[in-house]
């Protein structure tokens, strides 16, 4: 039970911290220069056509299914050891991402984290408490420009553009493609810059699968926060493939008296399903007490 309490706390803190690295994404992209550009050379035209073809192949890997349900093994590395517990991942495209944490063997739920389009919910069933708020009401989400759709893109193994629900075909030209042989790991690198934010993806050139997504925030103090989300063990799900193994690493720099931190976690998925016979929204029991974000995170950090 103690291990489950630690994982429940760490899972919530880790996911919310992951969101926090995407700081300043609310800043608007610069308006393109309206002056006519010089006519592209044949080589530039050829490179543009090639880049769009690469981007289209990546986009074509997106799943057709609206629902994804899978058993989950969540593992946290606290810098000293790995701790794992079972869980369930339920996602409904453009509506909700839900992580349920279970007690081993008994498989009863002890905690739930739910990201929806217009709210964030965390339920602590052990203490019969919950937090439910809009993204604007939660300071660490509002101040860091958290958007449900960017988080959804990471879970669904897709590209993202800040502040947009999805990446359309017309948006593909905004990305920069580098598939030169100079890449040490042999992968194609896709990048997108948005103010102080740098987005990059490493793509397997053989099957166009995204194998790594990285989001970096470069602050005015010449320090950087970084979220890395890697994908592996792609397995068939309908006519496409989806990564059954996902891991994330969060690196935050030292700020004042606070030391630099590195957090790591992994999600091992098993048994994909497109079942849709589950409720979209969770309604906490009347027996549960609604508490502030600060209060519940304070308890979690003291576990």
How is the chain split into domains, by residue range?
2-25+47-301
Residue 36: the pLDDT is: 56
Residue 80: the pLDDT is: 73
pLDDT 10s digits, 196-248: 889 999 999 999 999 999 988 877 766 777 889 999 999 999 999 999 999 98
pLDDT 10s digits, 81-103: 788 889 999 999 999 999 998 98
Strand partners, 76: 83, 265
Whole-angstrom distance, CA of residue 159 vs CA of residue 66: 17
Which carries the bigger pLDDT value, residue 10 or residue 88? Answer: 88
Residue 229: the pLDDT is: 94
DSSP 5: H
What is the β-pairing status of strands 129-133 and 289-290? parallel
Q: Which residue's structure tokens are 């994404």? A: 25
* Full DSSP string of 171-192: GGGGSEEE--TT-TTS-EEEEE
Give SS3 for 31: coil
Q: Which residue's structure tokens are 């493939």? A: 241
* Percentage of the chain modeled with pLDDT above 90: 45
Q: CA-based angle 268:54:160, to the nearest 5?
A: 55
**Helix (H) or strand (E) run with residue 14 in it:** helix 2-20
Mean local confidence (pLDDT), 267-295: 90
Distances (CA, A) of 10 to 3, 13, 136, 141, 284: 10, 5, 23, 18, 21
Q: Is the pLDDT of residue 182 over 50?
A: no
Q: Is the pLDDT of residue 20 over 50?
A: no
Mean local confidence (pLDDT), 250-261: 74
Asked if residues 210 and 201 have their Cβ atoms less than 8 Å apart, the reply is yes
Whole-angstrom distance, CA of residue 9 vs CA of residue 282: 20
Q: Which residue's structure tokens are 């320090």? A: 223
Least confident of 8-22, 51-65, 128-142, 173-187: 8-22
Mean local confidence (pLDDT), 33-55: 80
Give SS3 for 244: strand
Q: Is the pLDDT of residue 298 over 90?
A: no
Whole-angstrom distance, CA of residue 47 vs CA of residue 53: 10
Mean local confidence (pLDDT), 166-176: 93
Which carries the bigger pLDDT value, residue 255 or residue 107? Answer: 107
Residue 167: the pLDDT is: 94
- Who's near 2: CB < 8 A, 6+ residues apart? none
pLDDT band at 300 (very low <50, low <70, confident <90, very high): very low
- Among residues 237, 231, 276, 285, the alpha carbon closest in space to that of 90 is found at 276
pTM, rounded to two decimals:
0.83
CATH class, domain 2-25+47-301, is mainly beta
Mean local confidence (pLDDT), 180-194: 79
Q: Which residue's structure tokens are 């042989």? A: 181
Mean local confidence (pLDDT), 169-193: 85
Asked if residues 120 and 132 have their Cβ atoms less than 8 Å apart, the reply is yes
């Amino acid at each position: 039970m103690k291990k489950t309490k630690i994982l429940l706390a760490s899972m919530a803190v880790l996911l919310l911290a992951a969101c926090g690295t995407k700081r300043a994404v609310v800043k608007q992209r610069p308006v393109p220069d309206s002056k006519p550009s010089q006519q592209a050379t044949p080589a530039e035209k050829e490179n543009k056509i090639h880049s769009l073809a690469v981007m289209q192949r990546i986009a074509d890997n997106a799943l057709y299914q609206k629902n994804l349900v899978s058993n989950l093994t969540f593992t946290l590395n606290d810098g000293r050891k790995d701790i794992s517990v079972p869980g369930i991942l339920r996602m409904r495209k453009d509506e909700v991402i839900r992580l349920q944490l279970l007690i081993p063997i008994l498989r009863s739920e002890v905690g739930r984290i739910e990201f929806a389009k217009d709210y964030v919910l965390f339920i602590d069933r052990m203490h019969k408490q919950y937090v439910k708020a809009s993204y604007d009401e939660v300071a660490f989400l509002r101040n860091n420009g958290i958007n449900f759709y960017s988080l959804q893109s990471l879970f669904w193994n897709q590209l993202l553009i800040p502040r947009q629900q999805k990446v359309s075909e017309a948006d593909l030209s905004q990305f920069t493609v580098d598939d030169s042989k100079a890449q040490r790991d042999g992968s194609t690198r896709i990048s997108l810059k948005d103010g102080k934010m740098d987005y990059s993806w490493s793509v397997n050139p053989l099957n166009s699968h995204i194998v790594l997504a990285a989001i970096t925030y470069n602050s005015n103090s010449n320090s950087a926060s970084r979220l890395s989300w890697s994908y592996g063990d792609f397995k068939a799900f309908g006519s496409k493939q989806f990564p059954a193994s996902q891991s994330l690493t969060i690196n935050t720099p030292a700020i004042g008296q606070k030391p630099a931190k590195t957090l790591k976690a992994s999600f091992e998925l098993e048994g994909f399903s497109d079942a849709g016979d589950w409720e979209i929204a969770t309604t906490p029991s009347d027996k549960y007490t609604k508490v502030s974000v600060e209060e519940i995170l304070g308890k979690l950090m003291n576990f």
